[in-house]
Amino acid sequence: MWLYLILFAIPLIAFKTSGDGRSKVFLIGYLALIALFVGMSDMLGGYDRYIYGEAFDSIADVTTSGQAYGDRGVFNYFPGEPGYIWLNIIISWFTANRYIFILVLTLLIYVLLYQSLRDYCVNYPYALMLFMALWFYFSFTYLRQVLGATVAWLSIRYILKRQLWKFLLVWFIASTLHKSALVFLPIYFVPIRKYSVKTILAVMGVALVIGISPIPNAIFHAYGDAISMIAKNAQYNASGGFRIDYLLEAAFFLYFIIKSYASIPNRRVNILMLNMALVFCAMLLFFIRSENGGRLSWYYMIGIISTITYICTQGDRRQVFGPMMIVVSLLLYVRIYVAWQIPLSYLAPYKTFLSDGVRENDQLCRRYEYDHMYDVNKLYRAPLRFKTDFNIGNISVDEAQVQDNGL
């Protein structure tokens, strides 16, 4: 636990001691630190890491054998998401090892995250504290969706410039990594202007009423395949219990935003970030009965980080809201750690893949490890190689094999 608290304390200390909070050196250095912390961890975070590791190892085996990717059915692993498959294939030309694959993917995520935090946040240490509270832990395990969101954020500049085709191109690339990027498409068509507080509250009320109803569940049944295979398999299914944490989170952020509404600048970028923050809150309310539907709000996470950072460091209530949000961020950060740590020790004891063996009492490994050779030697599969010969083959999707893969 102390190791994770130290990670949170670094941007807190930087915020208290730095001047304007705009040091790119600090932003790059800190993101590099946590990217390596996450990327080099030994399968921490949950089941999804093992899914992605096994899929990559299978693709790397096809690369090693020189067989046709399509003929071996690798495009069936994540059907309709060819961008992610091709990313696996390209990385497999340079490594056959799942640990190096996860490290490369994590570094890519944090490079993309750097660009968005740099461009849309007025105080980097404060924004990083919010990131740690809201999203840091999820970068351990939900690699595909986090990557999809950070790629989608590259299209924000084209929303501001009203360049539809460039926006659609970047959004399409994000959707080939994770189909849930579909939810980011509508933001281009939302007029970039401030809406009245009454309008905002009305929209939030409607989102909450719909969220309590069976409608979100019906949407997933009708369009689950268009959103993602995970949605189709009910991971996003809106049939769970009432998520009081979604309600509290949305209400808390809305309180900050509405109380500081007048102080948010009328610059287009600030208004767009504000509207994205409001969509983030609305989606939490819309999926308030969903077990994991709130994950779809991640595509608007940069809006909430940017807007709350401005309110708490530049807004007219920053003297009160700034310290309050730091305390709440720390509580959120600790809450997620405890929720993840208690059932299966998802996060601690921390261990990197640079040492062989498994963590003490590693329940994740016992449940989900598919290749116990990794227990003996983490780098038994080639960590570095150069394969230039490859065969695409038939890339048609075999629905029967999709079901067999369980992906």
pLDDT for res 219: 62
**Range scoring the smallest mean pLDDT among 41-55, 111-125, 202-216, 234-248:** 234-248
346 neighbors 340 (Cβ within 8 angstroms): yes
Nearest to 146 by CA among 293, 277, 298: 298
3-state helix, strand, coil in the chain (%, to 5): 70, 0, 30
pLDDT for res 291: 74
Cα–Cα distance measured from residue 357 to residue 2, given in angstroms and rounded to the nearest whole number: 23
Which residues partner with 76 through β-bridges? none
The pair of structure tokens assigned to 215 is 């409608």
Q: How many domains would you assign to the chain?
A: 2
Cα–Cα distance measured from residue 370 to residue 381, given in angstroms and rounded to the nearest whole number: 14
Q: Give CA separation, 251 vs 78, 280, 297, in Å.
A: 36, 11, 15
Q: Give CA separation, 46 vs 19, 163, 295, in Å.
A: 38, 39, 16
Half-sphere exposure of 125 (CA within 13 A, CB side): 22
Domain boundary residue, one of 333, 362, 393: 333
Q: Is residue 329 located within the same domain as residue 213? A: yes
Q: Is residue 328 located within the same domain as residue 219? A: yes
pLDDT band at 236 (very low <50, low <70, confident <90, very high): very low
| Res 327 pLDDT > 70 | yes
- pLDDT, average across residues 358-375: 91
In a domain, 173, yes or no: no
Q: Is residue 207 located within the same domain as residue 243? A: yes
More confident site: 263 or 1? 263
pLDDT for res 190: 95
| Res 79 pLDDT > 90 | no
Q: Is residue 212 located within the same domain as residue 326? A: yes
Residues 6+ apart with CB under 8 A from 22: 122, 123, 124
Q: Is residue 308 located within the same domain as residue 208? A: yes
Domain boundary residue, one of 309, 333, 357: 333
In a domain, 255, yes or no: yes
**Range scoring the smallest mean pLDDT among 30-44, 71-85, 316-330:** 71-85
In a domain, 188, yes or no: no
Q: Is residue 125 located within the same domain as residue 28? A: yes
pLDDT for res 257: 97
Q: Is residue 34 located within the same domain as residue 121? A: yes
In a domain, 295, yes or no: yes
Helix (H) or strand (E) holding 374: helix 373-376
Q: Is residue 323 located within the same domain as residue 374? A: no
- pLDDT, average across residues 9-17: 96
pLDDT for res 393: 65
Residue found by looking up tokens 């990717």 in the block = 69
The pair of structure tokens assigned to 144 is 């595909």
Domain residue limits at 201: 193-333
More confident site: 238 or 47? 47
356 neighbors 381 (Cβ within 8 angstroms): no
- pLDDT, average across residues 339-362: 90
What is the rounded average pLDDT for all residues in the chain? Answer: 89
In a domain, 392, yes or no: yes
| Res 396 pLDDT > 60 | no
Cα–Cα distance measured from residue 4 to residue 330, given in angstroms and rounded to the nearest whole number: 11
What residue ranges in 247-403 does DSSP mark as E strands? Answer: none
pLDDT band at 391 (very low <50, low <70, confident <90, very high): low
Q: Is residue 358 located within the same domain as residue 241? A: no
Q: Is residue 327 located within the same domain as residue 354? A: no
The DSSP output letter for 220 is H
- pLDDT, average across residues 265-289: 96
- Report the Cα–Cα distance between both ends of the chain, in Å, rounded: 33
Instruction: Measure the CA dihedral 136/38/345/299, to 10°.
Output: 30
Q: Give the sign of the dihedral formed by CA 136, CA 137, CA 138, CA 144.
A: positive
The DSSP output letter for 194 is P
- Number of helical H runs and strand E runs in the chain: 19, 0
In a domain, 165, yes or no: no
Q: Is-above-0.85 flag for pTM?
A: yes
Peptide bond into 323 cis (omega under 30): no
What residue ranges in 33-81 does DSSP mark as E strands? Answer: none
Cα–Cα distance measured from residue 2 to residue 286, given in angstroms and rounded to the nearest whole number: 36
Which residues partner with 41 through β-bridges? 352
Domain boundary residue, one of 304, 333, 362: 333
Q: Is residue 295 located within the same domain as residue 371? A: no
More confident site: 29 or 231? 29
pLDDT for res 240: 55
In a domain, 178, yes or no: no
| Res 331 pLDDT > 60 | yes
| Res 404 pLDDT > 70 | no
In a domain, 149, yes or no: no
pLDDT for res 370: 95
Percent of the chain whose pLDDT exceeds 90: 76
Nearest to 217 by CA among 284, 287, 282: 287
Cα–Cα distance measured from residue 191 to residue 275, given in angstroms and rounded to the nearest whole number: 9
Q: Is residue 52 located within the same domain as residue 92? A: yes
